[in-house]
């Protein structure tokens, strides 16, 4: 049995005006054939799980195509067409297949196809036919569509946020594929789409209210005939009709059972919808809380969440910390290639006046100006050995400079945006998290796996930006209506 492997992943923030281009995929990940195996086989990623699961089941893995770009704006139409053309050509070269394991993100938006994942999965279904098994994984932040579920025999979403279970979900999908191609089971999927936007601040899977829903879903897995189920929290920064939460149940050839159970699962969730309304902590409140806590304290910059597509150069917390010197020493990381170049020109140990951050737009704060000593220059490459959100082991944030202002404020400036998945981002720059009272991480839950072990406290801060946790700051034109909590009296 030959099982093909295809991945096309990008999380599209439609509130960013700049598009995701083909160059973004070339810069991040664009692979075909055996290069996919080389990159992913040992990764804590679902594609790594595909390889491991198929090997354990003695099925031949046929790596075909894998592409990924960091979260950013809508994928440009020409870029999406080019990706699909490469995918088609790679499939042509792959030879006969007995099934496909696919890894869409689930929240990709293309200028020509708002439901981009539904579009390319439907193309695969049309190419291979109704009886050909297609089983996939989804990011927990997918905006699931009927087109996506119709195109696949089963979809299995991550169950943890931060995403530490990606490889295991890939193994689950591979094992289900093995049982399917051997004729042991016939995956049959039903989905439900409650009109619920789960606030990003409420999406920590290990704590209530999310934990309660996942516990309910876990208990359902013990019922006879249930092959899989998923609680999909959705990605609120995509202004598309599919935006919102969803639930999936996969049974063994029993659609009626799947429908009953997915209604039960989503109903349990819907009845607790008030618990998924965000609880906001303002910048001033965060400063007050931090003043009464022992460090290190990680401030999670929700409005400049790089994992949600933001520019990574927001300065709101940097300016606030500078006004509260009693909270120092502090560490902040900003994406600012201009500042990196100026620091390189100044060379290490020298003093240079710099304006850092706040250069992408007016949404994320004004540049912060100060005299900085260039403490260290690095190539920005580092590796992570532990399972972390995103599932990757090797990172490249481009040439990087570690800057120090007044011995109390340390700013790392990077050439490329980098989601703070790994604490190695700091340590590779010669920094020890224990030496700081305040650490700023640009995210909401993705940085937690890396930062919780080195922090005594985590505070999620309601900062401005294109990933604002306060969704009332964003203007939606295409979302479903009514939808809770936008319309508090929404019925379902």
Q: What confidence tens digit (pLDDT) does each residue in 388-430 have?
A: 878 888 899 999 999 999 889 999 999 999 999 899 999 999 9
Q: Under 8 Å CB-to-CB from 73, ≥6 apart: which residues?
A: 12, 13, 14, 16, 17, 18, 19, 20, 309
Chosen domain end from 210, 245, 276: 276
Write down the pLDDT at residue 461.
98
Is the same domain home to 217 and 341?
A: no
The Cα 17–Cα 12 span in angstroms is 11
Q: Which residues of the chain have pLDDT under 70?
A: none
Q: Is the dihedral of CA 361, 309, 430, 457 positive or negative?
A: positive
Domain count, the chain: 2
pLDDT attached to residue 52 = 98
pLDDT value of position 363: 87
Whether the link from the prior residue into 209 is cis, omega within 30° of 0, is yes
Residue 425 DSSP SS3: helix
Say which residue the tokens 């539904």 belong to: 118
| Domain end residue (candidates: 216, 248, 276) | 276
**Domain stop point among 241, 259, 276:** 276
Provide the pLDDT for residue 393.
81
Q: Mapping DSSP to helix (H, G, I), strand (E, B) and coil, where does residue 143 land?
A: coil
By C-alpha distance, which of 206, 257, 205 is closest to 227? 257
Q: What is the pLDDT of residue 392?
A: 80
Same domain, 76 and 203: yes
Tell whether 335 and 352 lie within a shared domain: yes
Indicate whether 480 belongs to any domain. Answer: no
As a whole number of angstroms, the distance between CA 250 and CA 151 comes to: 14
- 219 Cβ contact list (under 8 Å, min separation 6): none
470-483 burial, b at 16+ Cβ within 10 Å, e below that, comes to bbeeeebeebbeeb
Q: Are residues 43 and 181 in the same domain?
A: yes
Q: Are 409 and 330 in contact (CB under 8 A)?
A: yes
Enclosing domain of residue 298: 283-469
Q: Is residue 348 part of a domain?
A: yes
Strand 60-68 relative to strand 99-104, pairing: unpaired
| Residues 264 and 133 reside in one and the same domain | yes
Determine the straight-line distance between the first and last CA of the chain, rounded to whole angstroms.
44
Query: Is residue 491 one of the residues assigned to a domain?
Result: no
Burial readout 460-469 (b: 16 or more C-beta within 10 A, e: otherwise): bbbbbbbbbb
Specify whether 250 is located in the same domain as 317. Answer: no
Instruction: Give me the pLDDT at residue 385, please.
Output: 85
Is residue 395 included in any domain, yes or no?
Answer: yes
Q: Are residues 409 and 438 in the same domain?
A: yes
E strand map for 329-367:
330-335, 351-356
Q: Same structural domain for residues 191 and 44? A: yes
The answer to whether residue 15 sits within a structural domain is yes
Per-residue CA distances from 177 to 186, 226, 461 (Å): 10, 15, 42
Say what the pLDDT of residue 183 is: 98
pTM: 0.95
User: Do 21 and 116 sit in the same domain of this protein?
Assistant: yes
Domain membership of residue 486 (yes or no) is no
Q: Would you call 106 exposed, middle or buried from its count of C-beta atoms within 10 A (0-12, 13-18, 19+)?
A: buried
In terms of domains, do 461 and 408 share one? yes
Report yes or no: 197 and 244 within 8 Å, Cβ to Cβ.
yes
Domain for residue 56, yes or no? Answer: yes
Same domain, 85 and 148: yes
User: Quick one: tokens of 89?
Assistant: 């050509």
pLDDT at residue 391, rounded to an integer = 83
Predicted confidence at residue 318, as pLDDT, reads 97
CA 45 to chain centre: 12
Domain annotation covers residue 267:
yes
Question: What is the tens place of the pLDDT at every residue in 335-391?
Answer: 999 999 999 999 999 999 999 999 998 889 999 999 999 999 999 999 998 888 788
Query: Do both 257 and 378 map to the same domain?
Result: no
């Amino acid at each position: 049995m030959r099982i093909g492997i295809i991945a096309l992943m990008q999380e599209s923030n439609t509130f960013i005006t700049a598009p995701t281009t083909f160059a973004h995929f070339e810069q991040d990940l664009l692979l075909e054939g055996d290069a996919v195996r080389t990159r992913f086989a040992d990764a804590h990623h679902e594609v790594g799980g595909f390889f491991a699961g198929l090997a354990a089941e003695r099925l031949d893995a046929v790596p075909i195509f894998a592409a990924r770009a960091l979260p950013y704006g809508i994928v440009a139409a020409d870029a999406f067409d080019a990706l699909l053309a490469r995918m088609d050509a790679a499939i042509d070269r792959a030879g006969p297949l007995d099934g496909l394991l696919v890894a869409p993100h689930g929240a990709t938006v293309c200028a020509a196809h708002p439901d981009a994942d539904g579009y390319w999965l439907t193309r695969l279904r049309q190419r291979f036919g109704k009886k050909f098994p297609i089983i996939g994984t989804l990011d927990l932040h997918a905006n699931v569509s009927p087109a996506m579920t119709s195109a696949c025999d089963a979809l299995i979403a991550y169950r943890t946020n931060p995403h530490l279970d990606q490889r295991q979900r890939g193994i689950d999908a591979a094992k289900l594929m093995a049982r399917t191609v051997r004729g042991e089971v016939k995956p049959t999927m039903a989905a439900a789409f409650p009109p619920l936007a789960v606030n990003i601040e409420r999406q920590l899977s290990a704590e209530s209210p999310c934990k309660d829903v996942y516990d309910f879903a876990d208990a359902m897995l013990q019922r006879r005939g249930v092959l899989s189920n998923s609680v999909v929290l959705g990605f609120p920064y995509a202004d598309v009709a599919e935006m919102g939460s969803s639930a999936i149940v996969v049974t063994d050839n029993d659609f009626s059972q799947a429908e009953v159970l997915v209604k039960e699962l989503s109903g349990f969730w819907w009845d607790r919808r008030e618990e998924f309304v965000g609880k906001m902590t303002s910048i001033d409140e965060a400063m007050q809380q931090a003043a009464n806590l022992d460090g290190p304290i990680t401030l999670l910059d929700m409005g400049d969440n790089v994992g949600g597509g933001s520019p990574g150069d927001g300065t709101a917390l940097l300016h606030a910390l500078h006004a509260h010197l009693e909270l120092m020493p502090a560490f902040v990381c900003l994406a600012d290639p201009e500042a990196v170049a100026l620091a390189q020109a100044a060379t290490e140990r020298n003093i240079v006046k710099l304006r850092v951050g706040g250069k992408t737009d007016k949404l994320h704060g004004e540049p912060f100006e100060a005299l900085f000593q260039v403490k260290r220059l690095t190539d920005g490459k580092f590796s992570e050995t532990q399972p972390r959100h995103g599932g990757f082991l090797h990172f490249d944030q481009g040439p990087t400079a570690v800057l120090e202002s007044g011995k109390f404020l340390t700013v790392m400036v990077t050439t490329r945006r980098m989601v703070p998945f790994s604490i190695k981002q700091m340590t590779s720059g010669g920094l020890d998290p224990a030496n700081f009272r305040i650490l700023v991480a640009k995210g909401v839950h993705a940085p937690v796996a890396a930062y919780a072990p080195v922090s005594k406290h985590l505070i999620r801060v309601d900062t401005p930006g294109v990933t604002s946790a306060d969704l009332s700051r964003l203007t939606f034109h295409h979302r479903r209506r009514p939808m809770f909590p936008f319309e508090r009296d929404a019925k379902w």
